[in-house]
Chain A
Amino acid sequence: ETGVTQSPTHLIKTRGQQVTLRCSSQSGHNTVSWYQQALGQGPQFIFQYYREEENGRGNFPPRFSGLQFPNYSSELNVNALELDDSALYLCASSLEPGDVYGYTFGSGTRLTVV
């Protein structure tokens, strides 16, 4: 049990639909980073939220958006789903953006787009 929880664990959506994934960060952590991990690949950085503000974004289109709430939990929203969005989505929390102690990951949300 890492203290970082993600929901749902699995999700099947149809191409063109929208999806919202949720993450509760570990107690005391004010930074949440989202990653997309396709099968056989390493996690790819989507974006990061620090104290409710976006603090960096990877090479993902604007249809990937997010929020961080005052309790530091976070949402990842993906609009106009495409087949290539099928992946494991990982949320990681940390004490700060470049936390030298590393990131703690949640168990992930497996998204399948059909």
Chain B
Amino acid sequence: QKEVEQNSGPLSVPEGAIASLNCTYSDRGSQSFFWYRQYSGKSPELIMSIYSNGDKEDGRFTAQLNKASQYVSLLIRDSQPSDSATYLCAVIDSSASKIIFGSGTRLSIRP
């Protein structure tokens, strides 16, 4: 069973600080990785994708990938109250047929 593991949280971070979200995956053949943001009662929204080892930055968001450790992370700088949401880590399985999701980490930004 291919799995994606995340700490469910909640993770509470003060406004303006850096939020760090982590994810591990079991399928060593996976090549594409995603972070989705999901507000309560809404559908997931793609915010970052990463395919190569290292860091990828997009505005306040940085995704980090380490394939050897099978580890993906998301950093959110200058956290804002609007960042309060559940963040889903997702990977394309090695058969390249579907995206598998973790259970999500609930992030709360406190004023």
* Interface residues in chain A, defined as those with a beta carbon under 8 Å from any beta carbon in chain B: 33, 35, 40-45, 48, 55-56, 88, 90, 92, 97-98, 100-108
A-side contacts of B102, CB under 8 Å: 42
B-side contacts of A43, CB under 8 Å: 44, 88, 101
A92, A102, A106: which contacts B49 (Cβ < 8 A)? A102
A-side contacts of B43, CB under 8 Å: 88, 90, 105-108
Q: What is the bound-complex CA distance between A2 and B79, given in angstroms?
A: 25
Q: What is the bound-complex CA distance between A41 and B8, given in angstroms?
A: 9
Closest residue on chain B to residue A43 by CB atoms: B101
Does B34 sit within 8 A of A, measured CB to CB?
Answer: yes
- A48 contacts B98, C-beta separation under 8 Å: yes
- A33 contacts B49, C-beta separation under 8 Å: no
- B37-52 CB contact bits vs A (8 Å, 1 = yes)? 0000011111001010
Q: What is the bound-complex CA distance between A101 and B90, given in angstroms?
A: 12
Closest residue on chain B to residue A100 by CB atoms: B32
Q: With A55-B97, A90-B43 as given contacts, are A101 and B49 in contact (CB-CB < 8 Å)? A: yes
- A97 contacts B44, C-beta separation under 8 Å: no
- A56 contacts B51, C-beta separation under 8 Å: no
Q: With A90-B43, A90-B44 as given contacts, are A97 and B101 in contact (CB-CB < 8 Å)? A: no
The 8 closest A-B pairs by CB, nearest first: A98-B96, A42-B101, A105-B43, A42-B103, A97-B97, A100-B32, A102-B46, A43-B101
A41, A90, A98: which contacts B97 (Cβ < 8 A)? A98
- B49 contacts A105, C-beta separation under 8 Å: no
B-side contacts of A100, CB under 8 Å: 31-32, 49, 51, 92
Q: What is the bound-complex CA distance between A70 and B70, given in angstroms?
A: 39
Does B100 sit within 8 A of A, measured CB to CB?
Answer: yes
Q: A45 to nearest B CB, angstroms?
A: 6
- B100 contacts A45, C-beta separation under 8 Å: yes
- B81-111 CB contact bits vs A (8 Å, 1 = yes)? 0000000101011011111111110000000
